[in-house]
Every structure is written in structure tokens, then in C-alpha cells.
């Protein structure tokens, strides 16, 4: 065994599954989920036992003959699987197809360290009460939900989103785990900030929920600061920023998309890769309906019912968003080819008819058409996966958060 292989040390993963699960951090920072037997095998090898010794132990434990050769083959297969997970990059999360780390982890740690005080219960309580009072005063004004965006308000909003990510990282730090970098990513068609808090897998579920809420906590503190400043200065960009932050906070709590609300539900239920469980549930139900014997679901009944309900609600919501989007945008999609034709015509006739407004329209329409193609692609892909799904020993519980 070389040094590389000895570095495969797994730890207990907090889930609601009936059997204790384990996880392991690969060399490229990705976390993979391991079964109890995979964990035991790795531990035995790490402890310096030979394959023959492990086989002897297994023979007495399982009451059937296990050969050293079988153990060697199983171990090789396991290492190969872990290695294959290392190749697929850590940042390749479902829905994320582009990530760019801007702030390295050392810097995030430096910024987050003094801010961990904000997670002391007494400080958090005082801050939240003050913020609630300011926002109540803000919403109490006439026409408080008006929204007049400007460049300045957009910059303020971005700053709020940035602190949101710092909040996730700081929450993780306050529990003694190391955060990764902060950067920007593309989630489907939406550019987002992200914070790598994968180390949160080492935490108990309740602390993971605090990490998930940490982003919103910081974002709402910034919102309170903007609100207070607005009440004093009446500067309009602050007003627009407060409204945008409040609306986006509600949006991040929607558990349908892979945002904070999703992670909160996932940790509450103790189900890893919750968004992929529709496949597990559907295959399970399909076998049941067809009277076939099938592997029992890994969770207690109550959790299975909750996972099923979550799946149902999220699929229905996603279908609703997609059909609403399509119905609203259908005329634009049909008009898109002629718009492009118009653009080509204007480009080739050399007359100065390329106005800024026209270019803006082209960009907006292109964005919308691509958004819809993306959404359709996602649905087809999901459908395809349902038919192709295979339950594997190794699952990759992704944990970067937006
Ligand atoms: Zn977040």
C-alpha cells in the first residue's frame, strides 16, 4: 500500500438512514458517501491489517468463508471507485456548470474568524431583534414595496449576496471546521455567488442547518444596515436594495432549487442527495406496483414519506414554473427567429439602425430562449435518468452552497 491509499480515512456521516453511513474526503476536495462495510474495509487496511487477516475476521463475523483474494478484489474496486470520484471535479454539482473561486480559503478564514462572534447566541438574538425592528419600521412607510432599481442599488445587492456567502463560511468556522473558497458560479442560467462549505459534512445535522442558515443570517444583517441607513438618509438605491434582499431571501428558502431552503430540508430529514432521491423513490414504487421484491428504502418510514412528499412538491413546482414560463414567453420564442433575421439584416445593410435598445432586446430574448431550452433539457435528462438509474455503493454528497 502506498501513502496515497493510506490517506483514505472515512468518518461517520450524520443521516437519518437506518444504517450508519460514512463519508470520505477525496484528494480533490470532493466528499463521497461510503457504506459501513466500505468504511470498515478502509479502516482495517489503514490499521495495517493484511487482506488475509481481514478475510479471517470476516469469515468469523459473517459465518461464511471469505478468501484473502476476495478482500483484495473488493478493496481494489473500492479504491477505483473513490478515484473515479476524484476525477469528476468537486465543483461539478448538479445544475452548476461553471465555478470560479475568487477568494481563496486562507482569505475566507481570515475574514470569517473575527465574525464568528456573530454566532454567539446572545449576539445573534440582539442582532436579529434590532434587524427585525428596523425592517418593521422600513415596511411601515407608505409605498414600502416600491422597487426603483439603479446601478448603485445593484452594487449594494451584490455586496449583500457576498456577505451571504461569508455567512455560510463563518458559521462553519464557528463550529471548528475549515471553509473553502468563495467565488461565482452559474446555476443553470443564473449567475450566483457560492461558498464551499463541504467540510460541513463532518458536522451533526443541527449544526449543518445552522451553516445553511448562516448565509441568510448575514444577508439579513446587511439588509437591516441598509434599511437603517435609508430611514436616515432617504437615499433611493438603499430602498431598492432592501426590497431586493427581502424578496431574494424568501426565494433562497424555496427548497425546489438547490439553494439554502433545499439544504435545510435535506439536513432536517437527514437525507443526502435529496434532489436525486426521486429516482430511488420512483424505482422503489415502480417495483412495488409491479409486485416485485425490492430493496427496502434506507430511511425510517416517516422520513421516506417526507422524501416522497418533497419529491412530489418539488416536481410539481418545477413543472409549474416551466409551463408558466413557456406560456408567458411562447410568443417571444416564436418571434425569436425573425428577430435574429432582423439583426442580420441590420448588420449587413450597413445603415446605422443598431440602436442600444435593439441590442438590449436581442440579449434579453436570447437569454430567455436559452433559459427555456435549458429547462426543457433538464426535464428530458431527468426523465432519461429515471429509466437508467442504478443504485451505487458510492454516492457523492455535494455540499457547495449558494
Ligand atoms: Zn446560501
Backbone torsion region of residue 63, taken as left when φ is above 0, otherwise alpha when ψ lies between -120 and 50, otherwise beta: left
Q: Are 83 and 110 within one domain?
A: no
Contacts of 78 (CB under 8 A, 6+ apart): 38, 41, 42
pLDDT at position 133: 98
Task: Output the CA 79–ligand 1 centroid distance in Å.
Answer: 33
Q: Both 248 and 315 in a single domain?
A: no
Q: Are residues 173 and 318 in the same domain?
A: no
Q: What is the Å distance from ligand 1's center to 155 Cα?
A: 18
One domain, residues 323 and 386: yes
In a domain, 228, yes or no: yes
**361 alpha carbon to ligand 1 midpoint, in Å?**
31
| In a domain? residue 205 | yes
| Last residue of one domain, picked from the residues 53, 70, 87 | 87
pLDDT for res 386? 55
Say whether both 130 and 265 belong to one domain.
yes
| 101 Cα to the center of ligand 1, angstroms | 16
pLDDT at 392 (0 to 100): 38
Cα(126) to centroid of ligand 1, in Å? 22
Ligand 1 centroid – CA 179 distance (Å): 14
Picking from 319, 310, 322, 260, the residue whose alpha carbon sits closest to that of residue 281 is: 310
Calculated CA dihedral for residues 37, 40, 41, 42, nearest 10 degrees = 120
**Radius of gyration of the CA atoms of the chain, in A:** 25
Q: Which of 39, 69, 87 is the last residue of a domain?
A: 87
Indicate if 160 and 13 belong to the same structural domain: no
- The count of other CB atoms within 10 Å of the CB of residue 105 is 18
Residues 317 and 373 reside in one and the same domain: yes
CA of 253 relative to ligand 1 center, distance in Å: 9
Same domain, 145 and 258: yes
Pairing of β 21-25 and β 10-13:
antiparallel
On whether residue 399 sits in a domain, the answer given is no
Indicate the pTM of the whole model.
0.78
Domain span at 28: 3-87
> What does DSSP say about strands 31-34 and 96-103: parallel, antiparallel, or unpaired?
unpaired
Distances (CA, A) of 199 to 16, 219, 254, 387: 19, 22, 24, 33
Verify that 109 and 204 share a domain, yes or no: yes
Kindly state whether residue 250 falls inside one of the protein's structural domains.
yes
Note the pLDDT of residue 240: 95
Question: Grid coordinates representing 271?
Answer: 437525507
Q: What is the pLDDT along the chain (402 residues), one digit of tens a residue?
A: 444 444 678 889 999 998 898 888 877 777 888 888 888 898 898 888 999 999 998 888 888 888 899 899 989 988 887 777 654 333 334 556 677 889 999 999 999 999 999 999 999 999 999 999 999 999 999 999 999 888 899 999 999 999 999 999 999 999 999 998 998 887 766 778 888 888 889 999 999 999 999 999 999 999 999 999 999 999 999 999 999 999 999 988 888 777 899 899 999 999 988 877 877 787 788 788 877 777 788 899 999 999 989 988 888 887 888 788 788 878 878 888 888 888 888 888 766 667 778 888 888 888 878 877 777 777 777 666 655 544 333 444 445 554
* Ligand 1 centroid, distance to 28 Cα (angstroms): 23
Cell 460514512, residue located? 22
154 C-alpha to ligand 1 centroid (Å): 18
Q: Is residue 327 part of a domain?
A: yes
Q: Is residue 346 a contact partner of residue 354, using CB atoms and an 8 Å limit?
A: yes
Crossing angle for the helix pair 277-289 and 356-388, nearest 10 degrees?
Answer: 40
Q: Ligand 1 centroid vs 212 CA: distance in angstroms?
A: 6
Residue 400 lies in a domain: no
Structural domain includes residue 401: no
**219: CA distance to ligand 1 center in Å?**
9
Integer Cα distance of 43 and 41 in angstroms: 5
In this structure, are 242 and 291 located in the same domain? no
Using the mean position of ligand 1's atoms as its centre, give its distance from the Cα of residue 402 in Å. 4
Task: Choose one of 269, 291, 311: the last residue of a domain.
Answer: 269
Are 26 and 32 within 8 A, CB to CB? yes
Q: Are 134 and 254 part of one and the same domain?
A: yes
Is the CB of residue 394 less than 8 Å from the CB of residue 273? no
Residue 347: the pLDDT is 82
Question: Are residues 299 and 293 in contact, defined by beta-carbon separation less than 8 angstroms?
Answer: no
Residue 91: the pLDDT is 37
How far away, in angstroms, is 146 Cα from ligand 1 center? Answer: 25
C-alpha of residue 280 to centroid of ligand 1, in Å: 27
Is 398 inside any structural domain? Answer: no
Q: How high is the pLDDT of residue 373?
A: 78
d(CA 229, CA 245): 15
**136 CA from centroid of ligand 1 (Å):** 23
Could you give the 3-state DSSP secondary structure of residue 295? coil
Same domain, 112 and 179: yes
CA 81 to CA 297: how far, in whole Å? Answer: 23
Domain count, the chain: 3
CA 220 – ligand 1 centroid, Å: 12
Amino acid at each position: 500500500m502506498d501513502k496515497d491509499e493510506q490517506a483514505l480515512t472515512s468518518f461517520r456521516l450524520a443521516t437519518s438512514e437506518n444504517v450508519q453511513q460514512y463519508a470520505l474526503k477525496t484528494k480533490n476536495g470532493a466528499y463521497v458517501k461510503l457504506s459501513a462495510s466500505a468504511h470498515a474495509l478502509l479502516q482495517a487496511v489503514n490499521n495495517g491489517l493484511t487482506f488475509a487477516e481481514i478475510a479471517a475476521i470476516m469469515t468469523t463475523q459473517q459465518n461464511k468463508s471469505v478468501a484473502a483474494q476476495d478482500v483484495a478484489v473488493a478493496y481494489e474496486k473500492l479504491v477505483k471507485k473513490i478515484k473515479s470520484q476524484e476525477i469528476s471535479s468537486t465543483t461539478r454539482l448538479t445544475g452548476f456548470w461553471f465555478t470560479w473561486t475568487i477568494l481563496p480559503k486562507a482569505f475566507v478564514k481570515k475574514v470569517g474568524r473575527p465574525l464568528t462572534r456573530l454566532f454567539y447566541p446572545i449576539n445573534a438574538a440582539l442582532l436579529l431583534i434590532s434587524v427585525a425592528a428596523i425592517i418593521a419600521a422600513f415596511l411601515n412607510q407608505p409605498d414600502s414595496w416600491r422597487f426603483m432599481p439603479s446601478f448603485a442599488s445593484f452594487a449594494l445587492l451584490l455586496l449583500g449576496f457576498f456577505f451571504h456567502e461569508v455567512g455560510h463560511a463563518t458559521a462553519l468556522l464557528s463550529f471548528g471546521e475549515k471553509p473553502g473558497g468563495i467565488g461565482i458560479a452559474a446555476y443553470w442560467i443564473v449567475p450566483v455567488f457560492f461558498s464551499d462549505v463541504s467540510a460541513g459534512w463532518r458536522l451533526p445535522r443541527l449544526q449543518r442547518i445552522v451553516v445553511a442558515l448562516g448565509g441568510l443570517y448575514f444577508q439579513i444583517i446587511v439588509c437591516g444596515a441598509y434599511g437603517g441607513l435609508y430611514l436616515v438618509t432617504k437615499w433611493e438605491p438603499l430602498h431598492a436594495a432592501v426590497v431586493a434582499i427581502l424578496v431574494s431571501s424568501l426565494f433562497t428558502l424555496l427548497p425546489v432549487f438547490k439553494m439554502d431552503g433545499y439544504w435545510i430540508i435535506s439536513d432536517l430529514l437527514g437525507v443526502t442527495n435529496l434532489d436525486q432521491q426521486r429516482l430511488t423513490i420512483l424505482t422503489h414504487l415502480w417495483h412495488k406496483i409491479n409486485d416485485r421484491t425490492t430493496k427496502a428504502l434506507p430511511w425510517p418510514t416517516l422520513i421516506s414519506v417526507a422524501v416522497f412528499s418533497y419529491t412530489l412538491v418539488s416536481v410539481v413546482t418545477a413543472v409549474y414554473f416551466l409551463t408558466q414560463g413557456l406560456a408567458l414567453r411562447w410568443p417571444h420564442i416564436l418571434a425569436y427567429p425573425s428577430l435574429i433575421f432582423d439583426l442580420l439584416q441590420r448588420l449587413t445593410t450597413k445603415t446605422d439602425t443598431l440602436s442600444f435598445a435593439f441590442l438590449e432586446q436581442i440579449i434579453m430574448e436570447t437569454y430567455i430562449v436559452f433559459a427555456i431550452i435549458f429547462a426543457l433539457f433538464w426535464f428530458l435528462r431527468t426523465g432519461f435518468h429515471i429509466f437508467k438509474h442504478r443504485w451505487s455503493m458510492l454516492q457523492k454528497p455535494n455540499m457547495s452552497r449558494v
